[in-house]
Structure 1
Amino acid sequence: MLFWCAILSIFHYPAASVAKSTSFHSTALKPGKVEMGINQRFRYEYLDEFNIKKYGTGHDDNVLLSRTQPYLRYTISRGPSVFLQGQDSRFWFSDDIDKEDYIQGCPYYNEFDLHQAYLEWRTIAETPFGFKAGRQSVGYGDTRIFGPGGWGNVGRHLWDAGIVYYETKNIKFDFIYGKKIFYDWDRFDEDHYDYHAYGMYVQTKPLTDHTLDFFYAVKDSDSGISEDDEFTVQTAGFYGKGKWHQFDYNATAAYQFGDDGKDDIAAYMMHAEVGFTTALRFKPRLAAGYTIGSGDEDPNDDDQGTYDGVFGGVAKYYGRMNLFSGSNLTNWQTSIAVKLYKGFSICVDYHWFRLAEKKDAWYYCNNKVMRKDETGDSGSDLGEELDMVCKYKINSHLKLMAGYACFFPGYFVENTGTAEDAHWAFTQVIFSF
């Protein structure tokens, strides 16, 4: 009922005038300018037969999520800037999730903490060089390789990192080193995951309306108790997007190699999508895409073929319900999106999910094994998902969003455990001042 009320409110809410800035205070403070603001997000979710931890719960659940992000920015013209941001993430009403179940890293709950605090200077003294250093989120391209994962209430990736920029008119290099933050829901976030991350991201524009990026990323741990705990995962590839008349496209490809304990890594990911925006009323865009994240053909040998999601997001790429992570997965997708009027759009997506390798596992959104049949006899058909999402940007201060999704399990799910249809509905509001 709350979902449909939100849909109706979207159509009846009066449009407001657009403001120039989302900050509630901006003023000159020599030699620069100070800006303060706050982003507040509330999201209600109804989940049936699944939750953030697993599929097949046998019941439904409700959760109300809140995320508060106050911030302060001080910028010197043609000079450095300082950005400070806090974050408080909380939830209510859920019967399935209890923050006490998590020693660290509850995905719904993290008491007020320092979220970002960095110093950035894009072009030092008008040279091609610049830097960004401190606690920060990192995102590039379509966020499949580097992305903050901002849909989650707490967030997916946050870094204590340093980035060195080198930028010319035609090309931009970012050299990255960092350690990923481990969220502590009841104390200051000072712990890190047990690996180092470093790499390079290169952005180019070979033609007008076309972008071609290259990336190289390393996830490295050499501090394990034994050799079996150590790993080095290297990922190299490209991301491209562009448009030509009424057509548009985007594509990402990544190849992984390295060592995970005694196993040799050889994995890959490929994604391609093409869209066509018609000249009809409401500008409907039709799109079709295909994504594959490789799996492990033989789990018992010394070769590892399961694609590792690197540091990317998953929320909108493998179904809105977040039942999959992109590892050992193929995803056929079709979409239609319409813009009914300024600021308001509706998008409907259809997904058909299959295992890339029958003997490898179904990996959930947290990249943990959900189900597995090492014999391969359960097949590869995971199921189908249908998503509908409505967005309404009223102005720069207020954004509304609502959606519904359903998952219909396939042969693999039916043969490995509970196989009930799953449903999800949500409403969301974001205030920015």
Structure 2
Amino acid sequence: MVTKNERSRAAGRANRWNTLVAGIAVLFVATGSAAPAAELKRPHYQVRRFEEDWSVLAEVPAAERTGRFDAMKYVRLTEDGWLWASFGAQVRERIEAWSNFGFGAPADADAVFLLSRMFAHADFHLGPAARLFIEAKSSLATDRDITGGRRTLDVDELDLQNGFAELRVPLADEGRMTLRVGREELLFGKQRLVSPLDWSNTRRTFDGITARFEAFGWSATGFFSQLVRVKKYDPNTTNDDVDLFGLYATTSELRGLGGADLYWLGLDRTSAAFNGDSGHERRHTVGARLWGSIGEKRIDYDLEAAYQFGDLGSADVSAFMIASQAGTSIAALGYHPRVEVGFDYASGDDEPGDGDVETFNQLYPLGHAYLGYIDLVGRQNIIDLRGTTVWPFFLRSKIKVDLHSFWRASTDDGLYNAGGKLLRAGSAGDSRHVGIELDMTVKRPVSPHTLVVLGYHHFFPGDFVEQSGRSRDVDFAYLSVQYTI
């Protein structure tokens, strides 16, 4: 429900919305005809902007820096370059249109609204050993007249997204330790369990400490963090009720296999509930991931499995998940289209309230990328069989089509959405079949700075959804324009 106070806030910001929309349109047009810069291997823009290293520009004379924003990507603050800075920003506008949001419950479940997001960062380097990174964020939304209204996923008026001090210490055999203290977005592996959730308008971040060790071809990150609670119109605060900690190790130099991740993730929440059991949750996740390619046709694969143990109140936790995908490009078909198949399994509980919790906890994932764009399905009590095809075509555009078929892993447990919320109780129906989702996206990089994405998505409810409540087909479409510097 949108309050009168929220409506007045939105009305008061009308001019700002107009400025934002006009600004992004100007940027879009301007960059579309930009001349290519001189050959220089610049860093690619990253999801987490602090992973970019613009020191590559240090030895390039100012007159030879022909990139549109080179002047702000490397700024020498002392004559010898011991102190230097890099600045950047990103603006994203996304229009969303929904029909029958949440299977049409309640009946008024149609809406069109605009999500706007702005980031700006400053990255200060003090010699090779120290660094200070600061990134501010503003996330806004017009009226969202469907369930949830303008959520904390949509609105965070002005706040700090990343802000940490970093210390780098060289180790033996060309190794290095990197220590960070402060607010930092966390991202591990394929983001199946821990992700900043870039799809969200506000993104996810944590307060804490991380220590990364790099040696012998491996990188291992130990961390202790607390989730940052978004407060839409007030300063965000650390959530002392949620601790996330662990160790994540990765290498891309595993002989004969490609790459591997090994991890332990700990979660401590003062309150949680799963299928009739509730209480203080202390859950540990141990897992591994392998990826690489095999065969003369270069079939690539990605396999991940994780097991969870611990306790929830007086109940014992024992749960697991498996994720897999394999794909290849077909050279014989003109544009080299890619085909891919995937299988995901996340365990569910076999008996409500029996003192044993078998529901997998998906933690803090980028579920949106793996289990459908409509976000009706999360990595909890679910089986997903997926087929994907990607067709490159003119002007570096790509058309991607995903087809998912979802079933419940256990008929005694419910359906959980991408945020881990229970949508339908297990007792509401006896069918396993949740439904089928069709996802279609077109992605067009207009320039090195501008990305346009158009998507249409449809969910066909299965027997369980029909048995357990309102079951209208869900339609979702969006247009996103993102400009990054």
1:425 matched residue in structure 2: 477
The answer to whether the 8 Å contact 2:210/2:222 transfers is yes
Cα 1:318–1:18 change in 2 (3 A) is farther
Match for residue 114 of structure 2 among 64, 78, 82: 64
The answer to whether the 8 Å contact 1:269/1:291 transfers is yes
The answer to whether the 8 Å contact 2:101/2:146 transfers is no
Query: Which structure's CA Rg is the greater one?
Result: 2
- What SS class does the counterpart of residue 353 from structure 2 fall into? coil
Cα 1:406–1:222 change in 2 (3 A) is closer
2:343 is the alignment partner of 1:326: no
**Range with greater deviation from structure 2 (143-152 or 23-32):** 23-32
1:174 matched residue in structure 2: 221
2:157 is the alignment partner of 1:111: yes
The equivalences for 1:47-86 within 5 A come to 47-50=98-101, 56-58=105-107, 59-86=109-136
2:366 matched residue in structure 1: 313
**What is the RMSD of the two structures over their aligned residues, measured on CA atoms?**
2.3
The answer to whether the 8 Å contact 2:257/2:290 transfers is no
C-alpha distance in 2 between matches for 1:262 and 1:60: 42
2:413 is the alignment partner of 1:365: no
C-alpha distance in 2 between matches for 1:331 and 1:391: 24
The equivalences for 1:26-425 within 5 A come to 26=73, 27-30=75-78, 31-50=82-101, 56-58=105-107, 59-96=109-146, 106-124=152-170, 127-155=175-203, 157-204=204-251, 205-207=253-255, 210-221=258-269, 229-244=279-294, 245-279=297-331, 280-341=333-394, 343-374=396-427, 377-425=429-477
Cα 1:83–1:251 change in 2 (3 A) is same
C-alpha distance in 1 between matches for 2:377 and 2:270: 29
Deviations 1:240-290 (A, max 9, x none): 211234311111111000000011000001011110111121111111110
Structure 1 residue 75, shift from structure 2 partner? 2.1
The answer to whether the 8 Å contact 2:89/2:119 transfers is yes
The answer to whether the 8 Å contact 1:222/1:231 transfers is yes
Amino acid at match of 2:284: Q
C-alpha distance in 2 between matches for 1:180 and 1:353: 30
**Range with greater deviation from structure 2 (208-217 or 313-322):** 208-217
Cα 1:221–1:92 change in 2 (3 A) is closer
Cα 1:354–1:208 change in 2 (3 A) is same
Structure 1 residue 170, shift from structure 2 partner? 1.8
**Range with greater deviation from structure 2 (255-264 or 338-347):** 338-347
Amino acid at match of 1:131: L
Query: Percentage identity across aligned positions?
Result: 25
**Range with greater deviation from structure 2 (190-199 or 322-331):** 190-199
C-alpha distance in 1 between matches for 2:93 and 2:156: 15
TM-score, scaled to structure 1: 0.89
Structure 1 residue 349, shift from structure 2 partner? 0.2
TM-score, scaled to structure 2: 0.80
- What SS class does the counterpart of residue 240 from structure 1 fall into? strand
C-alpha distance in 2 between matches for 1:284 and 1:240: 24
Higher strand share: 1
How many residue pairs match? The answer is 412
Higher relative contact order (CA 8 A, sep 6+): 1
C-alpha distance in 1 between matches for 2:415 and 2:111: 23
C-alpha distance in 2 between matches for 1:48 and 1:127: 53
Amino acid at match of 1:64: L
Structure 1's unaligned 5+ residue stretches are 1-9
Deviations 1:112-154 (A, max 9, x none): 1111101224444765322122101010110012211110111
- What SS class does the counterpart of residue 186 from structure 1 fall into? coil
Cα 1:207–1:32 change in 2 (3 A) is farther
C-alpha distance in 2 between matches for 1:18 and 1:352: 43
The answer to whether the 8 Å contact 2:138/2:156 transfers is yes
C-alpha distance in 2 between matches for 1:399 and 1:23: 19
C-alpha distance in 1 between matches for 2:185 and 2:241: 18
Cα 1:383–1:219 change in 2 (3 A) is same
Deviations 1:183-222 (A, max 9, x none): 1111111231502221000112213771101010001246
The answer to whether the 8 Å contact 2:220/2:248 transfers is yes
Structure 2's unaligned 5+ residue stretches are 1-27, 43-66
